[in-house]
Amino acid sequence: MRLLITGSNGLLGSNLVRFFQGRGVYDVFATSRHPSYLPELKNFARGDLLDAVFVNQVISTVKPDIIINTVGPADVDKCERGPEFAYTLTVQTAENVAQSAQHYGSRLIYISTDHLFDGRRSMYLEDDEPVPVNVYGKMKLQAEAKTLAVNLNTVIARTNFYGWSPRRHPTTFGEWIYDSLKRPIPINLFTDYYFTPLEVTHLAEALEIVANSELTGVINIASCQRCSKYDFGIALAKVFGLDPSPICPGTINAVSFKAKRQRDLSLSTEKFKRIFNQNLPGLQEGLQRFCENMKVKP
Ligand SMILES: NC(=O)c1ccc[n+]([C@@H]2O[C@H](COP(=O)([O-])OP(=O)(O)OC[C@H]3O[C@@H](n4cnc5c(N)ncnc54)[C@H](OP(=O)(O)O)[C@@H]3O)[C@@H](O)[C@H]2O)c1
């Protein structure tokens, strides 16, 4: 099976490359805007997904059975400051990939987000009406719609994840907590901001199941357990055997962000469980994997 991963220098993309190459049954191809951060990656094309000619060139040459499109912004406040930037990086790149995938007959998985709801409730279902409250969420919703409209063989994977990123990548959420505890330096984590974060290699395993199925449409791929950012930090400290005292409980009300934040991003994973007869991992299992993966980070 030929697999194309876009955004292979990213947190998710780099872990997907590692995971799928390691399985030994996939021909893995990858793209990113900058030269590859991953020395073990052989089939790599450098280019910008905003360039439809580049996208068509890659997809027509590789002829992937499956494309996992991870490209999109990860900085919610940067999107708020630059809606134009957010639109091009999110919606235009998604549309270029979807059009080309449809043309060359590739199955497509588009990586979406948990930022699509207003956070007044919790454990959102795939059928719940999206009410994005910031530019990032609005753009991801548009990218979902374009992708689904253009490519019939599409899965939209709504998620939130943490894990080890490549060495040259900016520090990600889980890494920041770990680094702060290790040094140690005090950090604030919110007790009133909830999410369902999945460890990134658990996400890769779930995406493999989805890729090999005939599912189309929207599916949540998240931790089966909701927790606050504070709970996440305390549990992380415990798993790594680190002193949790640098973590101070904070409230989201005390911080003013450029982009509006919802209090609850949590996603229900009942649909995944129903279709694939399998529970997605919870917080403890995820952090255990995060700890084990420290030695093999991309
Ligand atoms: N991180 C989270 O918890 C989270 C939660 C929910 C959803 N998501 C979504 O998951 C996806 C992946 O997130 P991530 O955290 O892995 O992102 P990331 O670490 O920022 O990686 C993004 C990747 O996309 C590449 N890229 C950016 N612009 C590009 C362009 N115009 N053309 C080609 N490649 C481009 C970057 O390449 P270079 O580095 O080579 O420039 C990088 O490899 C995003 O769509 C994000 O919206 C993330």
* Alpha-carbon distances of 52 from 31, 47, 87, 108, 236, rounded to whole Å: 14, 10, 16, 17, 42
Q: Is 46 in the pocket of ligand 1 (CB under 6 A)?
A: no
CATH code, 7: 3.40.50.720
Domain that holds residue 56: 2-164+196-222+266-282
Residues 41-98: tens digit of each pLDDT: 989 999 999 999 999 999 999 999 999 999 999 999 999 999 999 999 999 999 999 9
Whether 2 contacts 63, CB under 8 Å:
yes
Whether 172 contacts 165, CB under 8 Å:
yes
pTM, to two decimals: 0.97
Q: Is 222 in the pocket of ligand 1 (CB under 6 A)?
A: no
Percent with pLDDT over 90 in the chain: 94
Count of structural domains within the chain = 1
134 within a domain of the structure (yes/no): yes
Q: Is 34 in the pocket of ligand 1 (CB under 6 A)?
A: yes
Confidence band, pLDDT 50/70/90 cuts, at residue 199: very high
Task: Find the 74 Cα to ligand 1 centroid distance in Å.
Answer: 6
Question: Probe ligand 1: pick from 5, 8, 12, max atoms within 8 Å of CB?
Answer: 12
171 within a domain of the structure (yes/no): no
191 within a domain of the structure (yes/no): no
**pLDDT (mean) for 179-185:** 97
Q: What mean pLDDT is reported for the chain?
A: 96
What's the rounded Cα separation, in Å, for the pair 155 and 134? 23
